[in-house]
């Protein structure tokens, strides 16, 4: 998935997420790079799916976005088992889960910019 995340279509999303999410993430470095050791951040590794899932929902309820992420992203993640259990998420070590509201804000920011420029 990283190759797809590097696609120019998703670069604006990644840049906005790095600016709005990575700067407050406990694993983020001062230069907005990821300080995770031994694994890639779920936000970046699943970026295309994250953008698609969040962009497919229009709701005032955060739960609706969580449902979309669980169904479209978490279900494809190797960290989640067949029963829907994710050890990273349960321990608070999944940045996508921990910072979902900020990720949503970043995705919506890019979507609004793109709609205004269209």
Local confidence band at 1 (pLDDT 50, 70, 90 cut-offs): very low
Question: Whole-angstrom Cα distance, residue 23 to residue 17?
Answer: 9
Can you tell me which residue has the tokens 């970046």? 44
Which tens digits make up the pLDDT trace of 66-107? 999 999 999 999 999 999 999 999 999 999 999 999 999 999
Q: Integer distance in angstroms from the first to the last C-alpha of the chain?
A: 27
Question: Considering its fold, how many domains does the chain have in total?
Answer: 1
Which tens digits make up the pLDDT trace of 19-46? 999 989 998 888 777 888 888 899 999 9
Domain that holds residue 85: 2-117
Kindly give, in sequence order, each residue whose CB lies less than 8 Å from that of residue 74, ignoring residues fewer than 6 positions away.
80, 84, 86, 89
The pLDDT score that the predictor gives to residue 12 is 95
Q: Which pTM does this prediction carry?
A: 0.89
The pLDDT score that the predictor gives to residue 6 is 58
Question: Whole-angstrom Cα distance, residue 105 to residue 17?
Answer: 9
């Amino acid at each position: 998935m990283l190759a797809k995340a590097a696609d120019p279509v998703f670069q604006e999303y990644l840049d906005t997420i790095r600016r709005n999410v990575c700067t407050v993430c406990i694993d983020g470095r001062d230069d907005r790079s990821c300080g995770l050791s031994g694994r890639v951040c779920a936000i970046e590794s699943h970026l295309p799916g994250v953008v698609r899932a969040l962009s497919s929902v229009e709701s005032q309820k955060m739960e609706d976005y969580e449902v979309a992420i669980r169904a479209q992203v978490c279900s494809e993640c190797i960290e989640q088992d067949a029963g829907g259990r994710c050890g990273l998420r349960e321990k608070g070590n999944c940045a996508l889960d921990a910072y979902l509201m900020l990720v949503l804000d970043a995705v919506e920011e890019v979507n609004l910019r793109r709609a205004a420029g269209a």
